[in-house]
Structure 1
Amino acid sequence: MRQPSDTEAQAPEVRLVGRLVTELESIGAWLQPHFRRREAHAAAVEYVKSLLGRAQRKNMWGLSEDAGHRAPYAFQHLLLRAKWDADVVRDDVLEYARRALGEGGILAVDETGFLKKGAKSVGVARQYTGTAGKVENAQVGVFLSYATPHGHALVDRELYLPESWAEDAGRREVGGIPDEVGFESKPALAQGMLQRALGAGLKPAWVVGDEVYGRDTTLRRFLEDLHQPYVLAVASNTHVWRGFYQVKPGDMVKDIAPEDWVRLSAGAGTKGPRLYDWARMRLNRHLGLSRWLLFRRGLVDGKVAFYVAHARRNASLESMVRAAGSRWAVEEDFESAKNEVGLADYEVRTWTAWHRHMTLCLVAHVFLAAARAMANLQLQEGLPPKALGLPRRRNPMRAFLVRRGLH
């Protein structure tokens, strides 16, 4: 049998790199209408490429050096004074994610912390953050992640503003906080982001979140009134209605018969399937859909985690388990966004600059998700590397980044 020539063997990878180059250039094209001045648009494109670049520390100086600038003035102007609306760009991020990753995915809400020194960065306060696992001096951002079988990425962001900031006129002025912005809880910020996504016509299969969001009855009712299925974690002492009585999940788990527990995987983990024992209990109906209590029991320690689900009456236990397990995607998004596109490396202090930096990080992050989806599709449709005569160590994504000077 004739062996493929070097040109033939490399053709699939060459085509993929070419598609990725075109995709990166298209990012600049869809950013262009959002900027009045050519200089600001050019700076935004450079900023996104630098976020994808080789700088180890992606602060203003590191990004500027990676872009070939001697000083960070162009990027500082982009975040602080240039005329552009970060919220409109943010809306386009979701549309880009829908095109690149497909419809019918899962929306996950979660927050992450950004450790800070001093007290001048907008929203910074002594507050609990999962980043440190304790109370630290930090800013906290609430984010929305979109996941489909093709990939996942962060698509929306809001800065959590503690009451100590919201009620202090002096700090508000220094931080450049708009007059219309007041204190909102994390679930309220999540609801606003979900409202934007659903209002844009997105029809996710599920909305998922941890206890911070699951215990908020206003958020749950908001989703129920829209007939939106969800699986939200709750604490054992959360009150839910069953019939005409309020019950607590921690009490109701005792009523689950041994034969009603089913061993299922909540998705693939780093060490294989994430296996747990699962059970559920039907609660009340609301607007044609049913509420459920979902229970997850550890195989080793026997600890039980609790969820409230809202779904069709015929929704399977397996579908709820898959939804509950999909929440880990947002944790992976935080890790990759911080490690790969500088989500946490910023050194800005004002409200506008924070949201602009985060928005451009979303642009870079969703591009990476789209690029990985393309690479995976190419590998699925093409022959294996060995059949193509390619070394197994060749990585199309790395080849693309190297070729563009981004790795």
Structure 2
Amino acid sequence: MTTVADAVGWDGALDALAERIAPRFCRPEARRRAGQYLAGLLAPVERKNGWQLAEVAGDANPDGVQDFLARMRWDAEAVRDDLRGYVVEHLGDSQAVLVLDETGFVKKGTRSVGVQRQYSGTAGRIENCQIGVFLGYAGRLGHALIDRALYLPQAWAGDEERRRAAWVPEAVAFATKPKLGLAMLERALDAGVPCAWVAADSVYGADSVLRQALVRRRIGYVLAVTSGQRLFPGTVSDWVEDVPADGWHRLSAGDGSKGPRLYDWAHLPFRGAPEEWGKGLLIRRRLADGDLTFYFNFAPAGTALKELVRVAGTRWTIESGFELAKGEVGLDQYEVRSWTGWHRHITLAMLALAFLTVVRTAAIGGKGPGRLGRRTSALDRAGDPSPAPPAARPSDPKTRHRYCLVALAKTSPAAGAALSLETPHPNR
């Protein structure tokens, strides 16, 4: 049961979070606005647009909010780093999963940066929208969004006039979604984010450069691929016939709204991975209709099937994160058109979502508001000097081999015991 003391503690924790990021803002007015913006995103108002955020801040109009997002000098990338540190401090887990995915932001017109008619998984169809690629962090204590990148389509990347109008930095060039995702993964790993796995859908799983980068770093992955993904001598769907009769195991991929999400799973390991690691094909079969989903995986030798299934099931956490972020902290309710404004709003909305997750974790775990007390800022911890102010609005207009099949040890379909992925198939 939440007490008055809890509420007071959480309010103080929000002040501490605003204090944590304060060194990223060069002037007192920007620091004040940042705290107000966070409070507004967490406030119980119907929409987190400029007018309602201004109302929460006590302003007569949204000019101050718009100025904060578009013209005040502050570094959204540094705040992103503080967000990542905050999540690690409160939710850090050595067995956590980094999850890549994208979400769409439906928009009208053609002036919002990166907007065009393109497929949006959020809408389930082609829409006039922006696409953001996100990196989620999912551990035992909770999950949050820790990085973001706006996808800039080729039509935008090559249009100097539109780039200049939307303040797209000169250094930003066209990059595929997997390339954006890999850059975020590398930022997290270079920063020492504790994790053991990466999960993603087939947009990212099909990218060999991304997979190879994770292999070099010895980071495990469970990455979805389409049924047509090439795997010598055919496609992954051709490999289903190699699953022995006793090779399917009924396991839960985590709890859903209606209880455990049960599927039948099979694993076909490959040879040819680095020493002490293994690669393989994980196959999920839906109970209702037999529909199949395929995953490439890379894991330490001896990893149990149950663990691969857990990682595959963790991918839903980022979808849940999008839903919460859009429903509770206004991730998609911004009224900005520029590159700068998009990244600033999205970063602060992700920070607000992380705060909610930490508060809920503390409440459910009975750890109380003390766990949310003041933490030193990123600059205090690192001993860094004050950040240099970001550049003002740009004025320059240029701005194989067949792998050996290995069978799994037989187990009861409902059993949750660990399953070895090491036993050689007697016929191979």
Using the size of structure 2 for normalisation, the TM-score is: 0.84
In the alignment, is the contact (CA less than 8 A) between 1:54 and 1:66 conserved in 2?
Answer: no
| Aligned-residue offset at 1:65 | 1.3
1:115 aligns with 2:142: no
Partner of 1:17: 7
Distance in 1 of aligned mates of 2:213 and 2:35: 37
Distance in 2 of aligned mates of 1:27 and 1:246: 54
1:246-281 CA distance string (max 9 Å, x none): 442100011101211000000000000000000000
In the alignment, is the contact (CA less than 8 A) between 1:16 and 1:374 conserved in 2?
Answer: no
Distance in 2 of aligned mates of 1:111 and 1:134: 14
Partner of 1:29: 19
1:306-348 CA distance string (max 9 Å, x none): 0000001200000000000010000000000000000000111
In the alignment, is the contact (CA less than 8 A) between 1:16 and 1:378 conserved in 2?
Answer: no
Partner of 2:145: 154
Residue identity opposite 1:200 in structure 2? A
In the alignment, is the contact (CA less than 8 A) between 1:142 and 1:158 conserved in 2?
Answer: yes
Residue identity opposite 1:165 in structure 2? W
2:76 counterpart (62, 86, 89): 86
Distance in 2 of aligned mates of 1:159 and 1:150: 28
| Aligned-residue offset at 1:18 | 3.4
Distance in 2 of aligned mates of 1:15 and 1:195: 40
In the alignment, is the contact (CA less than 8 A) between 1:106 and 1:208 conserved in 2?
Answer: yes
1:170-197 CA distance string (max 9 Å, x none): 1111111111100000010000100110
Residue identity opposite 1:81 in structure 2? R
Gaps (5+ residues) in structure 2? 369-428
1:232 aligns with 2:223: yes
Residue identity opposite 2:144 in structure 1? A
Partner of 1:200: 191
1:173-232 CA distance string (max 9 Å, x none): 111111110000001000010011000011312110001100111111111110000100
| Aligned-residue offset at 1:379 | 7.5
1:291 counterpart (279, 298, 313): 279
Distance in 1 of aligned mates of 2:57 and 2:5: 26
Percent identity (aligned): 46
Partner of 1:306: 294
Partner of 2:253: 266
In the alignment, is the contact (CA less than 8 A) between 2:15 and 2:35 conserved in 1?
Answer: no
1:68 aligns with 2:58: yes
Q: Residues 258 and 379 (structure 1 numbering): CA distance in 2 closer, same or farther, change over 3 Å?
A: farther
Partner of 1:4: none
| Aligned-residue offset at 1:66 | 2.0
In the alignment, is the contact (CA less than 8 A) between 1:151 and 1:372 conserved in 2?
Answer: no
Question: Counterpart of 1:260 in 2: which secondary structure?
Answer: coil
Distance in 2 of aligned mates of 1:89 and 1:316: 38
Partner of 2:243: 256
Aligned pairs for 1:135-154 (under 5 A) are 135-154=126-145
Partner of 1:5: none
Distance in 1 of aligned mates of 2:194 and 2:41: 30
Distance in 2 of aligned mates of 1:133 and 1:368: 28
In the alignment, is the contact (CA less than 8 A) between 2:223 and 2:297 conserved in 1?
Answer: yes
| Aligned-residue offset at 1:75 | 1.1
2:172 counterpart (172, 181, 202): 181
Aligned pairs for 1:345-364 (under 5 A) are 345-364=333-352
1:280 aligns with 2:288: no
Question: Counterpart of 1:259 in 2: which secondary structure?
Answer: coil
In the alignment, is the contact (CA less than 8 A) between 2:93 and 2:140 conserved in 1?
Answer: no
Using the size of structure 1 for normalisation, the TM-score is: 0.88
Distance in 2 of aligned mates of 1:26 and 1:301: 51
Q: After the TM superposition, which of the residue ranges 345-354 and 59-68 deviates more from structure 2?
A: 59-68
| Aligned-residue offset at 1:147 | 1.1
1:110-137 CA distance string (max 9 Å, x none): 0000000000000000100011101110
Question: Counterpart of 1:258 in 2: which secondary structure?
Answer: coil
Distance in 2 of aligned mates of 1:239 and 1:291: 15
Distance in 1 of aligned mates of 2:337 and 2:279: 43
Partner of 2:123: 132
Aligned pairs for 1:211-222 (under 5 A) are 211-222=202-213
1:58 counterpart (17, 26, 48): 48
Partner of 1:340: 328
Gaps (5+ residues) in structure 1? 1-9, 381-407
Distance in 2 of aligned mates of 1:246 and 1:62: 58
Partner of 2:356: 368
| Aligned-residue offset at 1:15 | 3.9
Aligned residues: 366
Residue identity opposite 1:297 in structure 2? R
Distance in 1 of aligned mates of 2:325 and 2:271: 39
Structure holding more helix per residue: 1
Distance in 2 of aligned mates of 1:285 and 1:49: 52
Q: CA RMSD in A?
A: 1.3
| Aligned-residue offset at 1:19 | 2.9
Distance in 2 of aligned mates of 1:367 and 1:54: 15
| Aligned-residue offset at 1:149 | 1.4
Which of structure 1's runs of 4+ aligned residues deviate more than 3 A? none
